[in-house]
Amino acid sequence: MSLSSYTDLSGKTAVITGGSRGIGAQTARMLAAQGVQVCVVGRDEKALDEVVAQIGEAGGTALAAVADVTDTTALEQVRDLVTSRLGHVDILAAFAGGMGEPVPTPNLTEQRWRQVLDSDLTSAFLTIQAFLPGMIAQGSGSIITMASAAGRQPSQANLAYGVANAGLIMLTRHLANELGPNGIRVNALAPSSIRTEKVAARMPDAVQQQVAAAHPLRRLGLTTDVGEAALFLASDASSYLSGITIDVAGGRITN
């Protein structure tokens, strides 16, 4: 697969939360291939180190930061580490999240509800809060949030996950409106049925085929599909786009 090239990204610095595996790790590798210095953030130190090693072997520059993205202090430490080692942050990909496993609403506990909202929505807010002063000071930046098709329409995911991702889309639109005068763009990605390592390992092949058949393009998405959309939003190619949500969903969209 031939990947797009965005020469304007070379020399920039990006922070990617949820960067230890899946979409976050793939996006980090793809940004690094464009000449971007990347910091991958997550809780799995070994997985983060593997991503950093892969990027280094390919000739890129990467840094790992172990942190809980629901912890303000931890995020501030990541910010300080990145700025001291790599310089000011141009691209912020708030990709951490998950916990969308189906749970009938009568069985959805208060604890689970709070965990999902913290993991998917609050984490994005806190991540952006940590890096926003620097972007405002430099008068530029591209922020990309990771929503989901479950935030666009009802799905089999649990209610908290759908609500959190719908909230991410409004967070994106609100910030785009507020931060535009500061030269900062904010956009969202809403993937559907992406064949991550987790999906490949846990979803039987027959089920993968059924899910693929439910999409007009008749296949599951790849992490590179989402990464390509992230590169576009990070680059000057999307310089007049802010506040939008790109459905990386194989044509399966209901607004």
Active site residue 161: yes
In the DSSP assignment, the letter for residue 15 is: E
* CA nearest to 201, candidates 44, 22, 28, 43: 22
Amino acid at site 215: H
Cα–Cα distance measured from residue 51 to residue 28, given in angstroms and rounded to the nearest whole number:
8
Cα–Cα distance measured from residue 173 to residue 183, given in angstroms and rounded to the nearest whole number:
15
Cα–Cα distance measured from residue 212 to residue 192, given in angstroms and rounded to the nearest whole number:
10
Asked if residues 4 and 34 have their Cβ atoms less than 8 Å apart, the reply is: no
Q: Which residues of 58-70 are buried (b: 16+ CB within 10 A; e: fewer)?
A: eebbbbbbbbbbb
Q: Give 181's Cβ-side CA count (13 Å radius).
A: 2
Cα–Cα distance measured from residue 235 to residue 123, given in angstroms and rounded to the nearest whole number:
24
Cα–Cα distance measured from residue 107 to residue 123, given in angstroms and rounded to the nearest whole number:
24
Active-site residue (options: 9, 119, 161, 249): 161
* CA nearest to 237, candidates 250, 246, 248: 246
Asked if residues 19 and 49 have their Cβ atoms less than 8 Å apart, the reply is: no
Residues annotated as part of the active site: 161
